[in-house]
Amino acid sequence: MSTQDDKSEAAKPSGAVVGTDNVVPLKPRKCAQCNKPVVHQFRPFCSRRCANLDLGNWFDESYRVPIDDPDEIEEALRDSENRGQDE
């Protein structure tokens, strides 16, 4: 045996499996909007329509981060009142 073969054998950790025998398959993803299978082009959605519906929810401020701190709640209320006066 050559020393090159010895080096390649030494580089492999003992007990390591070479190949795809130990690969876990990915779960099929579902659209974040309608639960249909995801299309790679519109990931994480199934279509442009679902992506646009989600974007509209962000623009309408339908998605919100909950606030528990009373000081942050008062500040958020003042900010929303100021925004209403600016329009």
Give 5-64 pLDDT, tens digit per residue.
Answer: 555 555 555 555 566 678 887 788 999 999 999 999 999 999 999 999 999 999 998 888
pLDDT at 26: 79
> What is the H or E stretch that residue 47 is in?
none
Question: Which amino acid is located at 56 in the chain?
Answer: G
Q: Please state the domain extents for the chain.
A: 27-78
Contacts of 77 (CB under 8 A, 6+ apart): none
CATH number of 27-78: 3.30.50.10
Question: What was the pLDDT predicted at 77?
Answer: 81
